Structure 1
Amino acid sequence: MIDPVFLDSPLYRCEALEPGLGCAVSIKLETANPVRSFKGRGTEVVASALAGEGRDAVVCASAGNLGQALAWSGRRRGLDVTVVASRAAPAAKLDRIRALDARLELVDGDFDMAREHAAAIARRDGVRLVQDSLDIETCEGAATIGLELVENAPPFDAVLIALGGGALATGIGHVVKALAPGVEVICVQPAGAPAMTRSWRGRRVVTTGTTDTIADGVAARRPIPAVLDDLLLVADDAVLVEEASIVAGMRMLFERAGLVVEPSAALGVAALLEDRDRFAGRHVVTIVCGGNADVDAYRRWIGSPS
C-alpha cells in the first residue's frame, strides 16, 4: 500500500556525531522522500484504503507534515484533501501544502484548535477525518520504520524517538518490543510541550494550557487517551529536553552530518547531549523524522557555523 519512495530510508552509522556524543550513533533518515518526513508512510496506507473504498474526500488537522503527506498521497489517488492548520504554523509547511493542491484552512490558536475544526468539517461534510496517532493507519505506517530497523540495523541498544501525538513512538515501539525486546525504547519531547511525557509518567492523561517550543511538529497539549494506553505498553522511558539542546542538536546534525532538519528531528540528539553518561558505550539509533524547516527560522537557530 505504501509507495516505495517512502520505504527503506537511509540507515547508517554516523561516526561524525560520535565524538561529541560519547556513544555509537546510527541515523534513520526519514527526510529523503517527497514530503521530507516519515508521515508519508501512514498517509499512503490511509489514501490507499480510501481509494479502494471509492471515497473521494478526506480532512485532517496538521502542524504541517501530516498535511503535506496526506496532500501528496491524496493527489496521487484523486482524493479531495482538506488540511486544517494553525496560522502560526511554519510558512514553509503551509506553502508546501498549497503546492500539493490541498485545500488549506487556517485557524487562530494552536494544533489542538485545528484538530477541533477539522473534526467539525468532517461532521458537516460527511467525509473521512484522519486523526494522526489515533487512526491505526498512521501508526502502522510508522511501524514500517521499526521493521526496517530490526531487519537492517546492526545490533543496537536503544532507539530515541520524537514524541508528539504518539504515532511514531507507538508504531516503532510495538515492532521493536515484539522483535527486539532487549532494545530500550526512549521517547523524547521538548520541555516546552510536555503533555504526553507527563501523561506517560503519571499513567493518566495530563493536558497543558499552552506550549512553548520551536519543535512545532510535537507541540500538542491534549494527549489522546487511546494513544497513551498504547504508549504505556511499549515505551521504556520518556524524557524532556531543553530548547537549547534542541538547537545544539540541529547545529550538530548540520555541521557534522550535513543534515538540515526541523527541530522535532533533533530531539534524539538533544537527549544524547543532555545525558551522555546514560548512553556512554552504547549503540543508539535516532530517528531523524522531518526536514521541513522554515529557512529564516533555521538560520536564526543555527547561526554561523562554529
Structure 2
Amino acid sequence: MHVGQELTIESIRQAAKALQGVTVMTPLQESVYINDLLGARVFFKLENLQRTGSFKLRGAYNRIRQLTPEELKRGVIAASAGNHAQGVALAAGLVGTTSLIYMPEGASLTKIESTRGYGADICLFGETFDDAYHEAERVAQETGRVLIPAFNDPAIIAGQGTIALEMLDERPHLDVLVVPVGGGGLIAGMALAAKEQNCRIKVIGVQTDSVPAFVLSRQEHHVVEAHGGRTIADGIAVKRPGDLTFELVEQYVDDVVTVSEHDISRAILIFLERTKLVVEGAGAVGLAAMLAGKIPLGLGTVGVVVSGGNIDVTLLNRIIEKGLVEEGRQVHLKTTVGDRPGQLARVLRRVAELKANVIRVEHERWNPQLSPAEVAIQMVLETRNVEHVQQLVTKLREDGYDVEILN
C-alpha cells in the first residue's frame, strides 16, 4: 500500500505481516488490584514494553518499508515529541536509510537521548510538536528528505491498527477499547480494525484537558486547533488533528473524553506501585479516564492501550512525591523553637513517638524573620495516610509547637 490508497482492514492485515519479526507481541494483561478498584474486568495492552518503549515503531516501519530505492537514498525526516522520533529512527536503521528528527525544545531528555541512540540526527525547534512539524516540513522541501508524518498517513495508521488485531485475536470478546488520542493515528487505525471485525465493539478515545483537540473538533464537526497548556502527557499534546485521522475518528469512534493532570499522575503512580510498570503520561490516560469515571464500566470487558513508557526519570520522581503527599504518605512540616541545646532532638523524639519516619530535616537560623533566640525546623516525614498527618499535626500543636504544613 502506498500513500494515497484507501485504508482498509486488508491494509492493516498486510502491515501486521510486515511487522512480524520487527515488533514484539506485547502482553495483554490484567491486574487484580485494578479490577477490584474499578469493579470491572480490564485488560491492558502493554505497548510500553514494545521496542523503543511505545507503539510508534509499528506505523513508522510500515511507512518507511514502502519507500523506493531513490527515496531511501535521500533519507527520512520527522517531527515528534519523542516516541514517533524513536520509531522513525529505529525503522530507518532497519531498512538502511538515515533519519533527521525535529523535536520541541522542551522534549523529554530521555526521549532525545534514546532517539539519538537509534542513530538519528536531532534538531530541537519550537515549543510544541506543531512547531517542530512545520519546521520539518520546510526542511523536507529544501533537502528532499521524505517526511514521515506522526499520524496523518494511511501507512502510519495501518501500522498502528495492528494493535487492535492483536488484542482481538487474544481476547475476541472485548466489549470496549480505550485508546489514547493525540493526532489520532492510533485510534483511527485501531477503530477501523476493531469495527470491521465487530461492529458492536465500543471505541473510546482519551485526551488531556490541556490539549483537547479532538473533543473540540468533534463538537464543531470539523478540524479545529486547540490552544492548550502544558501537560505531563506530552506524547498526545497535539494541537490539531489530522484531516484523515479526524475523518476516520468521526466514522468509527464512539466517544472521546478528557482527563486532568491530577488523574494522569494518579494513574502513573498506580501503574508503578501496583503493577510494577513504568508508564508515561500519554500511556496512562486510559486508566486515568476509568479512575475518573469517564468510561462507562457497565459496557463489559475493557481493553486499554498503554501506549508508551518513555517517561523522564525526574518527572517520574516529581509525580511520585506529589502522589505520596496527596495520599498523606509524606508531609513537609515547619515549626519554630528556641535556639537552645536539645530542642531539635525533643521535636524529633516526639515525631518518633507519633510513629512518623523522618526523611529529611533542615535547621535554619539565618532567616531575617526569626529572632536571634529562635531557630526554624523543616521536616519531611513519611506517614501512613491523611488521617495520620492530621493526628501528627494536632498532637504537635497541643505540645505547643506552631506547626505549618508546607506541601
TM bucket (normalised to shorter chain) is over 0.9
Q: Deviations over 1:134-176 (max 9, x none)?
A: 1111111111111111211151221100000001100100011
Q: Which runs of structure 2 are paired with 1:1-306 in the superposition (5 Å)? A: 1-50=18-67, 55-56=72-73, 57-275=75-293, 278-280=296-298, 282-303=300-321
| Aligned residue-pair number | 306
Cα distance in 2 for partners of 1:13, 1:188 equals: 20
Structure 2 residues not aligned, in runs of 5+: 1-17, 330-407
The question of whether the paired residues in 1 share the 8 Å contact of 2:179 and 2:286 is answered with yes
Partner SS state of residue 55, structure 1 = helix
* Alignment-mate amino acid for residue 268 of structure 1: G
Cα distance in 2 for partners of 1:281, 1:112 equals: 36
* Alignment-mate amino acid for residue 122 of structure 2: L
The question of whether the paired residues in 2 share the 8 Å contact of 1:15 and 1:25 is answered with no
> How many percent identity over aligned positions?
31
Cα distance in 1 for partners of 2:219, 2:31 equals: 31
Alpha-carbon distance, 1:34 to partner: 2.5
Cα distance in 2 for partners of 1:71, 1:51 equals: 18
Cα distance in 2 for partners of 1:277, 1:204 equals: 24
Alpha-carbon distance, 1:15 to partner: 2.1
The question of whether the paired residues in 1 share the 8 Å contact of 2:24 and 2:51 is answered with no
The question of whether the paired residues in 1 share the 8 Å contact of 2:283 and 2:305 is answered with yes
Tell which deviates more after alignment, 48-57 or 61-70: 48-57
Cα distance in 1 for partners of 2:227, 2:71 equals: 40
Q: Deviations over 1:8-62 (max 9, x none)?
A: 2111232221111221110111122330100011111122112666622000000
Q: Runs ≥4 in structure 1, deviation > 4 angstroms?
A: 51-54
Cα distance in 1 for partners of 2:116, 2:170 equals: 36
Alpha-carbon distance, 1:297 to partner: 0.4
Cα distance in 1 for partners of 2:215, 2:131 equals: 21
Cα distance in 1 for partners of 2:169, 2:312 equals: 34
By relative contact order (CA 8 Å, sep 6+), the higher-ranking structure is: 1
Alpha-carbon distance, 1:119 to partner: 0.2
The question of whether the paired residues in 2 share the 8 Å contact of 1:21 and 1:276 is answered with no
Partner SS state of residue 251, structure 2 = helix
Alpha-carbon distance, 1:5 to partner: 4.5
Partner SS state of residue 49, structure 1 = coil
* Alignment-mate amino acid for residue 106 of structure 2: A
* Alignment-mate amino acid for residue 211 of structure 2: A
Partner SS state of residue 296, structure 2 = helix
Taking structure 2 as the reference length, the TM-score comes to 0.72
The question of whether the paired residues in 2 share the 8 Å contact of 1:159 and 1:284 is answered with yes
Alpha-carbon distance, 1:277 to partner: 7.8
Alpha-carbon distance, 1:281 to partner: 7.0
Taking structure 1 as the reference length, the TM-score comes to 0.95
The question of whether the paired residues in 1 share the 8 Å contact of 2:175 and 2:299 is answered with no
Rg (Cα) greater in structure:
2
The question of whether the paired residues in 1 share the 8 Å contact of 2:79 and 2:129 is answered with yes
* Alignment-mate amino acid for residue 95 of structure 1: E
Structure 1 residues not aligned, in runs of 5+: none
